[in-house]
Structure 1
Amino acid sequence: MRISLVIVSRDRADALASALNCLRFQTVTDFETIVVSNLPAPMGPAPAPLSHYDCQPANISLARNIGLARARGAIVVFCDDDCLPDPRFIERITAPFADPHIGAAGGMTRGTNGVAMQWQADAFGRDGRDRPLSIDLRKPWTVFAPEPDRFVKTVGTACAFRADALRAIGGFDEGFRYYFDETDVNLRLSEAGWSTAIVPAAQVHHAFAAGPHRDRRRMPTDMFEIGASAARFCRLHAPDAAAALGAQRRGLRNRVLNYHLLGLIGGQRLRFLLARLDEGIAHSQANFPPPPKPEPIPVPGPAISLPAPKPRLHFLLEGRRARMRPIASALAAAGHVVTLLDIRASARPLWAFFDDDGFWYHRGGVFGRIRRNEPLISLRTKPQYLAVELRRLALFRKVNYMISDKKPKQPAQILPELRTIAKIDSMTVLDLQSDNF
């Protein structure tokens, strides 16, 4: 099953470079990467093959349609440029499509600290308002069959679609230049009879880079497109469009007012955002392009040659960053997945990010929180901290070997060929592949 990954990017060259670097460590390699951007083609480490297409208008639906029209895979995966996919993300988000009834799949998103969940799963109604969605996080995925008035939401940070199904409904509605774009697609795919899968372990780390509509603090900088898209969605799908739009407007206004009450935005910006929200709503009502026609988008030419899959090992390096970084960089350069865990004697919560040298860096205090539902301070030892973190990591990237900067009790016998990659003779190497973590 061929796979195409489409990344839409706008004015964020640095974030895109990190995402492409991170994608080199996927456990599947038989996928093509398509970048659609208003900037020149990216340079630097990236998965192969990679193609770049220009899109100057600020319209995320148009950009995604450009990628869809050029995708050669049977499954098209979408990911934002400020997202860092876990190594098994593509493998897991595409697995449910073995079921011929599934037209869409959604993963889950961790927030800016790389640990806490930002998005898990939601449903929504024809009024565009979210509804509770219950899933079993222990299952590889949960399938939801179409329902007349409840639809399963996937978000652009981590989602995938059956290419033929998406083309058959006309792709993304370019009337949604920002906001409600995936929601509209989810609804139309469900109406066409396709089921949706939610895949808990298909995860990405969402860095929330600044963009045209928000700043680095996640505060909105303009509400025009949000208002326009909310009005369009209600007019297209809600049984009572006026009532649904009124509820959407109140909810959006309250969100902005809460930012002001919390001191996150000032009065002048508050007035600007509320005015722009209403301007967007008025614009959408006066300018209403027709929805996409349910006609197939032309399928592109023959599939290109893709590299053969190769096994990747996951190494957990435990020790101080200054000492372990050269080893982490060398292992990553050899194509392995690497997590460097730097545990300090403090109560600092766990924090994670992807280093430009190609490895994941996790830093935390032995007494600090790992999961965000834990107490602020936990009395535990370093081995206990390691055990908890290994179990957490196993959900999305299981560790094969752990290398510690402690002096070994006996010479390392594991993977002697690694000595040509990194100097580990003075360290402890543990084989965790048979352990039940």
Structure 2
Amino acid sequence: MAVWTLGLNHRTAPIDLRERFAFASDQLVLSLQGLRRTFETHKEVAILSTCNRTEVYCAGDEVQWRQTLKWLADTGKAHVDVLQSHIYRLEGDASARHAFRVASGLDSMVLGESQILGQFKDAVRLAADSGALGTTLNQLFQRSFAVAKEVRTSTDIGVHSISMAAASVRLASRIFENIKDTNVLFVGAGEMIELCVAHFAAKSPRSITIANRSATRADMLAAMHGGQSISLADLPARLHEFDVVISCTASTLPLIGLGAVQRALRARKNRPIFMVDLAVPRDIEPEVKDLSGVYLYTIDDLTHVINSGQSHRQEAVAEAEAIIDGGVQKFMAWLERRNHVPLIQELNLQADAWRQTELARARKRIEKGQSVDSVLESLSMALMKKMLNGPLRELNHPDGVQREKALEAVRHIFLND
């Protein structure tokens, strides 16, 4: 059984390319079904799609790069040649190691962050519920989660982690002398926005406002931090009220356009606006970045801020990599054993056929009045001869090299207690 991974992430592809391959959660089941139809020889697939990466995990009788790459390129409406220069292809132990590193937070933009593990589990759960997982990928992912848990509990990989939320606060502090004097708007109400609200709330801004598609969710989050909520429809008219705008939704189209920001700047008399777009696909039109008075940062722009704390975790990384290496070795050993399953099944069938044949003969002898002892003697002798026939034949093979191999195998199988 072959295992392979094809993907692109924040290291290999810019955000304007990554957003073309971001899978909306409500479309993932259809995407999994479409991917499965692409292959002829297997049906095991899973898709991990986050702000920083899109990865396709597959398992089958043989690696099928061409079909996998073509499917991904077609999905993102991109030429294969263009996509090819931004992807990574991994198979076998490299594919397993990558899955373990991703689950453990070692491949994240924020080294050691824990959010990716939950996203990975959600992707696997969805693949399983849609019938896209089989024994091999399920084993790979369950082992990934177990390794990630060990990395978390046995190392300090997340101790010095600088989150996207913390990085956003740091950047805002560079633009505004005191966060306490700012009005902050959060667009969305998911897990990432929750973290951002908590970090900004700790700085006691003048006001906190939540704009979200679901009013109930927005009201709940706003109430937790003494803020207020508004509808997304009110966003263009009220954008000028806010000094800081943090956005992260699952929208497939931008929610804040160039025209809305231009009008907001005029109303603010060109007082600056600090904006962070953590969404992929992006919530804020990229042209906004060119406006004077707007400081717009995307998820990729936060990398430099985040990397400032990475050096403290190199020892923890080394410890985590050692745990991952052990996990990879165990998975590959399991996978190799799985490759022997057809032979094991064939051996069992053959042995059972011998057993059934000799049992039938023994019953006939008993019916004819032969003693139980003689029947058992004949039964055991017949089974012994059948069992030893193949090995003895190989020990008498005309080729000397083959005889030596047979000799070593017979000693190992039959003469080792």
Same fold by TM-score greater than 0.5: no
- The structure whose Rg is larger is 2
Q: TM-score, normalised by structure 2?
A: 0.26
Q: TM-score, normalised by structure 1?
A: 0.25
Larger fraction in helix: 2
Larger fraction in strand: 1
